[in-house]
Structure formats: structure tokens, C-alpha cells
């Protein structure tokens, strides 16, 4: 996995993303040749999954613009020259999001959502209390803003990490609240991604790394489901969007469980 040190996490050339390579295994079933252009918005764009998803969209010539939502106010000034060029050309827009302000008045960010065709919610919390606040307040406010202001939306995705009941991490009730807030909006297409755990690589906290050491043997024997690498999850989300674009019809909300996510991941391993 690429290590990001004091720089922007988005560098599709450095990460070696090639859209054709990702879509090739599915060309027999779906036609990607006449994909319509689109605009994408990624919330949590500097996180473990969001950074890879932004890079995937930047590597896709059919993506007109990527709006990267981040809480880091100093990020724009630290972009490398290659990404400054993307900003200058209008393909990358970095927006600092004040989540508490979004909860209070979503109309303040109406222009951020306007014209977006694909929106991905990838914000996660470092602690249980932070995760509960994100689920019960931030996600619901974000979904409400998407419903109110994303007038060109074709696909909405949301990551909802549901740890194994044997591990005892996280509160499933807040995940239910967050998921239902998206499902009830009846977007043209909604994908809820439910991995049990994500391998965040270099972005993992010391607690996550310690937990990985403890559960490594249980994963090996199959007692616990393996953590999905953040890069692999991003590729699956990216692929799911383009499969839906190829089908060109609305569908009922889809919950991508751990087995389905691994099925998509294994196509590219």
C-alpha cells in the first residue's frame, strides 16, 4: 500500500490506477464503452477509503470533476504540483466541510451538492463516541443535504462498518439509524457497504494495529472475517458505480455484505 507522508493522499499516477484494468473483467456482461460523463463527490476524502476513491475518479477520463470533502483546512496548500494542475483544470475541487454547521444549516453547502451525479459517504470515527455522533448526526445531515440539493444524483454510496458481534466494537443501533436515513430517501440507486472491518494500512491507529495482532490467528482459521484492505474496498465501490451506470436503470437500495464485497475484491486480486 502506498505511504502518504505530508502530502495529498490523491495521486492516481503514483498509485497506478488504470480504469480499463478495473473494468475489463466485467466487459462481457456490461458495456462500459459509452459511459456518460459524471461528477463525483467524496466525503471523508482524506480517509483510508476516501483517498483511494478520489484517486480512482481522477484516473477515469469520464469523470469531469471530483469534489473532495475534508475537515483539513490546510490541505489545499499542501497539494503536489500534479494535483494543483487538476485543481487549475477544474477536475479536482477541495472543500473544507464543517460538519456541525452542516447539521445546523445544510443550505450553506447547497452549491457543493448541486450537479453531483455520484456521492460517496466515507466518513468514519476514530473512537466509539465519535462514530456514534457521525452516525446519528453527521450522516443523517449529509443524507438530508444530498436529498435536498443533489438535483442530478444518479447513485449514492455509504460505508457502514459493522464489526463482528464476537469483537464487541461499535454500536449497531447507530449504524441502523445511519443506514435507514439513506434508504428512506429513495435515491435512484443506493449502495450501503457493510464490511465487518477495514484494513486501513498506514492510517490505522495503534488500537487497530493491536487488535489486528490479536485477531490475526482467528482470521486465519476463519473464525473472524478478514479485514478488507481500504484500497480493495474503494475499487469495489468504484466498480459498483460503473456497473449501475451500465445498467442504466434505477434499482432498489442494495446492502453490500461482506461476502459480496469479497467477491468483487477477488476479481481484481
Contact 92, 86 (CB under 8 A): yes
Q: How many angstroms separate the CA atoms of 195 and 177, rounded?
A: 17
pTM of the predicted model as reported, rounded to 2 decimal places: 0.79
Residue pair 28/95 in contact (Cβ under 8 Å)? The answer is: no
Asked if the structure places residue 3 within a domain, the reply is no
CATH code where residue 85 lies: 3.40.50.720
Q: What SS3 string covers 17-63?
A: CCHHHHHHHHCCCCCCCCCCCEEEEEECCCCCCHHHHHHHHHHCCCE
In a domain, 7, yes or no: no
Beta bridge partners of 190: 156
| Residue at 43 is within a domain | yes
- Say if CB 56 and CB 12 are below 8 A apart: yes
pLDDT mean over 237-258: 83
5 domain-assigned: no
In a domain, 217, yes or no: yes
pLDDT at 207: 57
Q: What is the pLDDT of residue 169?
A: 45
Range of the domain at 105: 12-266
Which has the closest alpha carbon to 60: 80, 76, 40? 40
Residue 6 belongs to some domain of the structure: no
pLDDT for the residue numbered 251 = 79
Q: What is the pLDDT of residues 126-182, one digit of tens each?
A: 556 677 788 788 999 999 999 999 999 999 999 987 654 434 444 456 778 888 899
The whole-number pLDDT of residue 216 equals: 54
Instruction: Quote the pLDDT of residue 100.
Output: 92
For 34-79, what is each residue's pLDDT tens digit? Answer: 678 999 999 998 888 988 898 889 888 889 999 999 887 766 666 6
> Does residue 148 lie in a domain region?
yes
User: 27 vs 196, which has greater pLDDT?
Assistant: 196
- The answer as to whether 2 is a domain residue is no
Total structural domains within the chain? 1
Amino acid at each position: 500500500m502506498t505511504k502518504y507522508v505530508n502530502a495529498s493522499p490523491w495521486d492516481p499516477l503514483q498509485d497506478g490506477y488504470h480504469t480499463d484494468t478495473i473494468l475489463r473483467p466485467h466487459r462481457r456482461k456490461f458495456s462500459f464503452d459509452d459511459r456518460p460523463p459524471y461528477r463525483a463527490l467524496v466525503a471523508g476524502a482524506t480517509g483510508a477509503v476516501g483517498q483511494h476513491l478520489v484517486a480512482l475518479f481522477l484516473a477515469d477520463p469520464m469523470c469531469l470533476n471530483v469534489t473532495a470533502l475534508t475537515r483539513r483546512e490546510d490541505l489545499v496548500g499542501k497539494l503536489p504540483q500534479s494535483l494543483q494542475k487538476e485543481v487549475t483544470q477544474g477536475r479536482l475541487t477541495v472543500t473544507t466541510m464543517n460538519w456541525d454547521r452542516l447539521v445546523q444549516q445544510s443550505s450553506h453547502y447547497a452549491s457543493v451538492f448541486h450537479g453531483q451525479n455520484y456521492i460517496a459517504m466515507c466518513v468514519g470515527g476514530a473512537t466509539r463516541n465519535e462514530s456514534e455522533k457521525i452516525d446519528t448526526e453527521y450522516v443523517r445531515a449529509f443524507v438530508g443535504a444530498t436529498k435536498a440539493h443533489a438535483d442530478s444524483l444518479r447513485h449514492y454510496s455509504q460505508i457502514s462498518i459493522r464489526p463482528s458481534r464476537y469483537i464487541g466494537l461499535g454500536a449497531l443501533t447507530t449504524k441502523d439509524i445511519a443506514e435507514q436515513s439513506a434508504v428512506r430517501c429513495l435515491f435512484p440507486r443506493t449502495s450501503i457497504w457493510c464490511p465487518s472491518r477495514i484494513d486501513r494500512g498506514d492510517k490505522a491507529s495503534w488500537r487497530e494495529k493491536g487488535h489486528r495482532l490479536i485477531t490475526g490467528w482467528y482470521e486465519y482459521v476463519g473464525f473472524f472475517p478478514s479485514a478488507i484492505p481500504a484500497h480493495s474496498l474503494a475499487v469495489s465501490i468504484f466498480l459498483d458505480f460503473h456497473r449501475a451506470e451500465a445498467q442504466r436503470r434505477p434499482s432498489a437500495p442494495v446492502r453490500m455484505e461482506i461476502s459480496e464485497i469479497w467477491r468483487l475484491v477477488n476479481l481484481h486480486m
